[in-house]
Amino acid sequence: MRTKRCNFWLPNKNRFCANCPLNGSLFCGNHNSRSEGQWIPCPIDPSHSFSTFGSSVLEQNLKGHVKRCPLLKQTQSLSVQPFYQKGINAGSDGEEETSGVDDSSLPIKTVSSEMKRNALHGMSVPEFCKLIEKIEFIHESLCKDIQDSVQMPEVCSLWIKRGVEDRKLPFQEKHIMQQASIVGNLENFGLLKNSHGRKPSECGEPDEKKEEDVPAVIEFGAGRGYLTQMLADCYGIQRVFLVERKAYKLKADRSLRQNESLKLERLRIDIEDLELNAVESLQGVPFLAIGKHLCGAATDLTLRCCFPEYRKYSTEQHPANSKFGGLAIATCCHHLCQWKHYTNKRFFLDLGLTKEEFHAITWFTSWAVDANHDSDLPDTTNCISHLQFIKEQGDGYVDGVEKILSDMQADRRAALGFKCKWIIDMGRLMWLREHGLDAKLVKFVPSSISPENHLLLARSSNLL
């Protein structure tokens, strides 16, 4: 006989809750309906969702919950670490990074997707058309030198083949292809030596290369750490740091720790709060910064973290001792970007774009992942003809921008979204170049594998 299950539908998991229902109810204790007034947010971790009313706990249970909240111990432990400094990489909410007021410690004013959409709907039709024309002009002017760079190093190919044969690959093929291409682009850009002279048959075996000749790797937004595992197995990396704010199961850490020649540290911290110069074991060590799909503002936070000398506010307590060698960051989820965190506000302002228009552009980027990506969209797809159609309609769009957006064809929406993604990443690229780094932006996988396929590469100019 099949055990009864809670009837609460979990949309993120696409299934019903697996817990048993309470006696006389269709729902379990977590999802049983109660009056809304009984529930209040957890003051330590608002992400808790113990009720149908969102992130909250029963008021009468709050005192006991706070004492055993899973995040409490982790928060207390983190606060005493020398590398923890609240908001150190957050940026400024002012129009320029050089504004005279230090607002880095103020609460972040997150502009939600709903707020961005409502602001767009509040535009007049001429204002909306002018914004689209700006986007088209900027994309046509600045986004011409971006190339495809899909890589599959031989050493990674053999590593993948061996994993398939041994049935030890814990992730999907599309993720393997992305990781291998990131690694291959690191090698092609001169940030990794050719497998450290190792033969393909030796992939995964310990290397006798001197430790000081092998850079450390810091994986930001590491998740389970499988990008680092590929690097360590195939290129003999001997010191790795995994930066991730969340806890994960099925991590690569267990496999990595079996390599006796590898030193591994996992830092459970938000990138926004990480003072890299205060990580004791990283002092004076050359490092590569990597990240696979650093969502939204996490890319900007990582850039500030890697280059503390270019932050608006730096701490004198921890002078710059780390040695930046290079980075490879696959950007992602541009719709989550925020003006406060964005590294190159000056880029947008100099192009005549306002803070509000920046948020509109970030909202458009979600369209890039809405389309069917069985094949790549042609680069020539644009929205100029659609704008001409809008103008030709005249009074046909008296209802405003909301009607225009609903009538826009899917391929045109996707094309506009891709262009907005390029503009945002181009600003990051220009920021790196303005600070004397050799940098480029490439497509590291086809859109059919992932529409989030932008890879930001940079290296110190002395490596040329």
Between residues 418 and 167, which one has the greater pLDDT?
Answer: 418
pLDDT at 321: 60
Tell me the residue length of the chain. Answer: 464
Burial of residue 60 (CB within 10 Å: 0-12, 13-18, 19+) is exposed
Between residues 172 and 244, which one has the greater pLDDT?
Answer: 244
pLDDT at 170: 61
pLDDT at 380: 41
pLDDT > 70 in the chain, percent? 75
Distance in Å from the first CA to the final CA of the chain: 69
pLDDT at 460: 85
Residue 457 — pLDDT band, cuts 50, 70, 90?
very high
Cα–Cα distances (Å) from 421 to 237, 355, 431, in that order, read 32, 16, 16
pLDDT at 260: 86
pLDDT at 35: 45
What's the pLDDT tens digit per position in 189-220?
Answer: 999 876 544 443 445 444 454 444 557 999 99
- Name every residue whose Cβ is closer than 8 Å to that of residue 75 and which is 6 or more positions away in sequence: 44
Average pLDDT over every residue of 169-177: 78
What's the pLDDT tens digit per position in 105-125?
Answer: 555 568 888 999 999 888 888
pLDDT at 372: 55
Lowest mean pLDDT of 17-21, 179-183, 452-456, name the range: 17-21
Domain spans of the chain, in order of start: 142-463
Residue 387 — pLDDT band, cuts 50, 70, 90?
low
**Residue pair 246/47 in contact by the 8 Å Cβ criterion:** no
pTM over 0.85: no
Lowest mean pLDDT of 10-14, 441-445, 459-463, name the range: 459-463
**Residue pair 61/30 in contact by the 8 Å Cβ criterion:** no
Between residues 170 and 145, which one has the greater pLDDT?
Answer: 145
pLDDT at 207: 47
**How far is it, in rounded angstroms, from Cα 115 to Cα 313?**
29
Residue 375 has pLDDT above 60, yes or no: no
> Average pLDDT over the chain, rounded to whole?
80
Residue 133 has pLDDT above 50, yes or no: yes
**How far is it, in rounded angstroms, from Cα 321 to Cα 280?**
10
Residue 408 has pLDDT above 70, yes or no: yes
**How far is it, in rounded angstroms, from Cα 320 to Cα 17?**
49
SS (H, E, C) the chain: CCCCCCCCEECCCCEECCCCCCCCCCCCCCCCCCCHHHEECCCCCCCCCCECCECCEEHHHHHHHHHHCHHHHHHHHHHCCCCECCCCCCCCCCCCCCCCCCCCCCCCCCCCHHHHHHHHHCCCHHHHHHHHHHHHHHHHHHCCCCEECCCCCHHHHHHHHHHHHHCCCCCCHHHHHHHHHHHHHHHHCCCCCCHHHCCHHHCCCCCCCCHHHCCEEEEECCCCCHHHHHHHHHHCCCEEEEECCCCCCCCCHHHHHCCCCCEEEEECCCHHHECHHHCHHHCCCEEEEEEEEEECCHHHHHHHHHCHHHCCCCCCCCCCCCEEEEEEEEEECHHHCCCCCCCCHHHHHHCCCCHHHHHHHHHHHHHHHCCCCCCCCCCCCCCHHHHHHHHHHHHHHCCCHHHHHHHCCHHHHHHHHHHHHHHHHHHHHHHHHHCCCEEEEEECCCCCCCCCCEEEEEECHHHC
**How far is it, in rounded angstroms, from Cα 171 to Cα 210?**
31
What's the pLDDT tens digit per position in 305-356?
Answer: 999 887 765 555 555 566 889 999 999 999 999 999 999 999 999 999 999 9
Residue 360 — pLDDT band, cuts 50, 70, 90?
very high
Between residues 389 and 176, which one has the greater pLDDT?
Answer: 176
For the record, the structure tokens of 428 come out as: 């990051």
**Residue pair 191/183 in contact by the 8 Å Cβ criterion:** no
Residue 47 has pLDDT above 80, yes or no: no
What's the pLDDT tens digit per position in 265-297?
Answer: 999 999 999 999 899 999 888 999 999 989 999
Average pLDDT over every residue of 60-78: 75
pLDDT at 266: 94
pLDDT at 198: 47
